[in-house]
Structure 1
Amino acid sequence: MRMALLERFRGASLTARALRSSMLTVGGFGSMQALRLLSNLVLTRLLFPEAFGLMALVLVFLTGLAMFSDVGVTPAILQSKRGDDPDFLDTAWTIQVGRGICLAAFAAALAWPMAQIYAEPQLVQLLPVAGLTLLIAGFNPTRLDTAGRHLMLGRVTVIEIASQVAGLIVAIAFALIFRSVWALVASNLVTALAKLVLLDLFLPGARNRFRLERPAARELVSFGKWIFLATVCGFISHQADKLLIGRYLPLDVFGVYNIGYFLASFPMLLGLMVVGRVLIPIYREAPPAESRENFAKLRRMRTLVTGALLMLSALAACLGVWLVELLYDPRYHLAGAVVVVLALTQIPQIIGLTYDQAALAAGDSRRFFVLSLAKAVFMVAGLLIGLEAGGLLGALIGQGVAQIMIYPVVTWLARRSGVWDPLHDAGGCILGALIVALALALNGTAIADLASG
């Protein structure tokens, strides 16, 4: 039995590459999250809660800039028939570099207006410096995307972990010396720079050069126009909580929310990374609508991914309060209840997570945009109604309601793409309901404290 299991991981078959890539992604993500946890444990004792709230605002703005300008270079390389063509890759890289330069300039230009809107003068200095991470990332070689296209992620995983270690060392050193939010900014800069250098030195393949080939540019723009709109909506749906909670509530409460978000988001971020790196190549090479065999293989993989993520969510939802009390400073005690509720709100999203990439793998970025638009609309509505009705707890519950409302749109996309699996979804819903009941029974008092405090 052990030999049969090992054989599944060997060779160049799609199954073997998918299994290896999934394991590497999980291992790498787990290692990076462990490093982030270590960083948080140290930095929460060296810095003040407002520093984490301020850095969260900076990251929201930078993420917004990146997503509002995303033209889908990475998914285009993953799914295109020309994804291994040097001319296509050089054109994609040239577009990516130009985008990075523009983003850094926009970050500097937005610094003063954002400082006025949020009444945080430090943003005038923080945003231009932190925006340099976008410039650095623009120069990342397309060899990174090529490795993802062929599910060869070993070196990529090692490089990402090494970059994170470099950033952690700098963060702790700066925090010890300066005791300010600049420790977090410096950490992000060093992480981005270390990743660029290591990718350039250690990933195999030809180096990119500046080139704009017209057919490649046309393909990238044609595919990317819907990706651009989808990522605008994606920014709204994924960052609306930070934008709105950061605007409605005090900065120290926002810092507490972000500590809770870090612990609760582990299953979802892991799922997004696995799905984003592994599923597009799988859908491209073995379309599930093409044969019953392909559909059966995908069902097994989908069930494994969903089951594992739901179990991780169950751990966060049931043990979140205990984890925060064990690991963090007493100033962050309400973050435990945030972990519990956020973990529960993500259950509907986990159930439908593996459907998103099917449309992209087929080159149908328009339907992917429709789903992203629905997510944005429901998420903003849920947050606004929740904040007005119940403050922080209301915002958390609003996110959960939004995820439930999005599910019919996810089902529509899955059916159109030929990947919908109602048996998988029914099992996920039953398991999710059990997790909700258990978590509420164990943590009802902490949630009540969050409602009153």
Structure 2
Amino acid sequence: MTQLVLSLILSRSDFGIWAIALSASVLLTNFRGGGMLQWLIQGGTERYVVRAGPAFWTSLVFNVLLGTLIVAIALPVSKFYGEPQVFEIMIISGASFPLITLGAFYKTTLSIKLCMGQVTLIEIASAVVRSGLTICLALTGLGPLSFVLPLPASYIVESIMGHHYERSRPWRLSRQLRSWHRLVFQNRWILSGTLVTTLTINVDYIVLGRLTSLSTLGVYFFAYQLTFVTAVLVTDNARRVMTPAFVAVDPSRRTNAVLRATNAYLLFGSPLLLLLGAVVGGVEPIIWRAKWTDAILPIQILSFSLPSQLLTVIAQASLQSSGRFRGWTAVNAIRASLAAGGALVAGTLFRSDVSAICAVMALAFVVGNLSQIVLTFYNQRIGLFSMIRQTWAGLLAAPACLIVVLLLLHQLSPSPIISVLTGGLVFVVLNAICIGVFARHDAMQLARLALPRLKRLGDVG
């Protein structure tokens, strides 16, 4: 919702400036906590008491150092891209970064205890505060600064709500200073994996920011963010659920759990992520009045890469739950390399053609994501045939339905409202048919699990 409003207020160049600042700062901010929170999750409930103190204090020290480093590199990055506002954005981002520590620790603790409802409420409250302030600041004419000025307030909200639900005081836990150097060395693969994961997500902005104009980068950033916003919501919540859940599963049964999760997750998640591609052609003229017309095709192209994006969650949760952080780093390095290569090729060959850039990047994302899941399953000793049998329908059904919808809309050329209604309805119906054909058993199983929970929620309401 925030991006929808901001895209009406801010210019393409504003989005381009934010993309550059985001790519530079996120490279460091994704090191938040120095990998200690992943280490805390991997230990599960059995080792929580022993690991909580060192995890919190080491996270805090890392975050202070990272915030300082972001501030230190703000000027060089700003000069490299020739954009003064990048300096201001990175200064604010770095100065507020240590505030993220407490809220992140509380959310991790609640995730370990599988209190996902409380984690969701914390994130909703934080998002409401951040989004509301961002929109208000953008309306006052602050431009790209509107993206970062609300960050301190959102971090504080997460800390307050986390303390309300968890009631613990991690700052009173033992620091165990003598063990810090050992923990950092022990978690070196978590840090390495975090680096390459961050590169995968942001390397396209880093490379394209140097090779293309701010306007071109702004359109690409708009299309990418709008396409992947639903994917981020789905994958982040799934990752938060799956990793602790896989940790709790007996290792002898973990392979079967991974396969079942992959099948259901793909088949039911993919249509949700590709729905935007089916309706964006009608949504754009209704909301933006042709301001972002040249982002329609890029959004549709990027949408086809989303089902494979879901596989990265399965891969990460599977490897991290079994403590195979070195393998996680290795498979992520392949994704990062492909994303960097794709951005370099796209930016060099198609400097101003956003659709062509998105086509190259979508191909790079798909190849990288599929490579990651193949290597992960191989690492987990899951056969190639079992993997294909569990993933082919989920990977292909929703994209095939989207192709049918786009061809239909191209032939009909309806008005924007009719395009949204027709595209959305046909896409949903086609996917429902695919689920009925390819996953009737899984659909019935999920329904049996979901209906009692929905009934309980209704009784509570």
Q: TM-score, normalised by structure 1?
A: 0.81
Determine if the alignment matches structure 1 residue 379 to structure 2 residue 339.
Answer: yes
**Could you tell me whether the CA contact under 8 Å between 2:33 and 2:101 is conserved in 1?**
no
My pick for the range that moved more, 375-384 or 49-58, is 49-58
Q: Which residue of 1 aligns with 2:26?
A: 63
Q: Which residue of 1 aligns with 2:450?
A: none
Secondary structure of 2:379's counterpart equals helix
Map 1:71-82 → 2, pairs under 5 A: 71-80=34-43
Cα separation, partners in 2 of 1:47 and 1:413, compared to 1, 3 Å: closer
Q: 2:231 aligns with which of 254, 262, 268?
A: 268
Q: 1:156 aligns with which of 110, 119, 142?
A: 119
Secondary structure of 2:149's counterpart equals helix
Map 1:404-419 → 2, pairs under 5 A: 404-406=366-368, 407-418=370-381
Cα separation, partners in 2 of 1:413 and 1:179, compared to 1, 3 Å: closer
Q: Which residue of 2 aligns with 1:32?
A: none
Q: Which residue of 1 aligns with 2:95?
A: 132
Q: In 1, distance between residues paired with 2:30 and 2:16? A: 21
Q: 1:398 aligns with which of 347, 351, 360?
A: 360
Listed one character per residue, the Cα deviations across residues 37-66 of structure 1 (whole Å, up to 9, x for unaligned) are 1x2333333333322222222222221112
Q: Which residue of 2 aligns with 1:438?
A: 404
| Paired amino acid for 2:73 | L
Determine if the alignment matches structure 1 residue 325 to structure 2 residue 285.
Answer: yes
**Could you tell me whether the CA contact under 8 Å between 1:383 and 1:396 is conserved in 2?**
no
Determine if the alignment matches structure 1 residue 195 to structure 2 residue 158.
Answer: yes
Determine if the alignment matches structure 1 residue 354 to structure 2 residue 314.
Answer: yes
Secondary structure of 1:71's counterpart equals helix
Q: Which residue of 2 aligns with 1:427?
A: 393
Cα separation, partners in 2 of 1:63 and 1:187, compared to 1, 3 Å: same
Q: In 1, distance between residues paired with 2:289 and 2:356? A: 25
Q: Which residue of 1 aligns with 2:252?
A: 290
| Paired amino acid for 1:280 | T
Determine if the alignment matches structure 1 residue 115 to structure 2 residue 78.
Answer: yes
1:440, distance to aligned residue in structure 2 (A): 5.5
Listed one character per residue, the Cα deviations across residues 74-123 of structure 1 (whole Å, up to 9, x for unaligned) are 22111115765444211111111111111121111111111111111122
1:359, distance to aligned residue in structure 2 (A): 1.4
Q: 2:184 aligns with which of 198, 218, 221?
A: 221
Q: 1:258 aligns with which of 195, 216, 221?
A: 221
Q: In 1, distance between residues paired with 2:410 and 2:30? A: 37
Cα separation, partners in 2 of 1:172 and 1:405, compared to 1, 3 Å: closer
| Paired amino acid for 2:348 | E
Determine if the alignment matches structure 1 residue 334 to structure 2 residue 334.
Answer: no
**Could you tell me whether the CA contact under 8 Å between 1:79 and 1:281 is conserved in 2?**
yes
| Paired amino acid for 1:379 | A
Secondary structure of 1:330's counterpart equals coil
Q: What runs of 5+ residues in structure 2 fail to find an aligned partner?
A: 412-461
My pick for the range that moved more, 156-165 or 177-186, is 177-186
Listed one character per residue, the Cα deviations across residues 234-253 of structure 1 (whole Å, up to 9, x for unaligned) are 12111112112222222122
Determine if the alignment matches structure 1 residue 248 to structure 2 residue 211.
Answer: yes
Listed one character per residue, the Cα deviations across residues 232-276 of structure 1 (whole Å, up to 9, x for unaligned) are 111211111211222222212222222222221134313421332
**Could you tell me whether the CA contact under 8 Å between 1:321 and 1:443 is conserved in 2?**
no
Listed one character per residue, the Cα deviations across residues 305-332 of structure 1 (whole Å, up to 9, x for unaligned) are 1112210233122222222222225322
Q: In 2, distance between residues paired with 1:372 and 1:89? A: 27
Secondary structure of 2:334's counterpart equals helix
Q: What runs of 5+ residues in structure 1 fail to find an aligned partner?
A: 1-36, 446-453
**Could you tell me whether the CA contact under 8 Å between 1:88 and 1:213 is conserved in 2?**
no
1:214, distance to aligned residue in structure 2 (A): 6.2
Determine if the alignment matches structure 1 residue 237 to structure 2 residue 200.
Answer: yes
Q: In 2, distance between residues paired with 1:405 and 1:204? A: 44
Q: In 2, distance between residues paired with 1:92 and 1:44? A: 39
Q: Which residue of 1 aligns with 2:263?
A: 303
| Paired amino acid for 1:154 | G
Over aligned residue pairs, what C-alpha RMSD do you find? Answer: 2.7
1:439, distance to aligned residue in structure 2 (A): 5.8
1:205, distance to aligned residue in structure 2 (A): 3.1
Cα separation, partners in 2 of 1:145 and 1:374, compared to 1, 3 Å: same
Listed one character per residue, the Cα deviations across residues 262-316 of structure 1 (whole Å, up to 9, x for unaligned) are 22113431342133211112221214x614xx65554443322111221023312
| Paired amino acid for 1:330 | A
My pick for the range that moved more, 369-378 or 61-70, is 61-70
Q: TM-score, normalised by structure 2?
A: 0.80
**Could you tell me whether the CA contact under 8 Å between 1:237 and 1:379 is conserved in 2?**
yes
Listed one character per residue, the Cα deviations across residues 159-205 of structure 1 (whole Å, up to 9, x for unaligned) are 22112222233223323334433322222332222222322334333
Cα separation, partners in 2 of 1:303 and 1:215, compared to 1, 3 Å: farther
My pick for the range that moved more, 110-119 or 167-176, is 167-176
| Paired amino acid for 2:306 | Q
Q: Which residue of 2 aligns with 1:33?
A: none
Q: In 2, distance between residues paired with 1:276 and 1:173? A: 32
Identical-pair percentage: 18
Secondary structure of 1:142's counterpart equals helix
1:436, distance to aligned residue in structure 2 (A): 5.8
Cα separation, partners in 2 of 1:405 and 1:323, compared to 1, 3 Å: same
Q: Which residue of 2 aligns with 1:18?
A: none
Q: In 2, distance between residues paired with 1:224 and 1:81? A: 16
**Could you tell me whether the CA contact under 8 Å between 2:35 and 2:190 is conserved in 1?**
yes
Secondary structure of 1:151's counterpart equals coil
Q: Which residue of 2 aligns with 1:180?
A: 143
**Could you tell me whether the CA contact under 8 Å between 1:93 and 1:141 is conserved in 2?**
no
Q: In 2, distance between residues paired with 1:356 and 1:333? A: 36
Determine if the alignment matches structure 1 residue 93 to structure 2 residue 93.
Answer: no
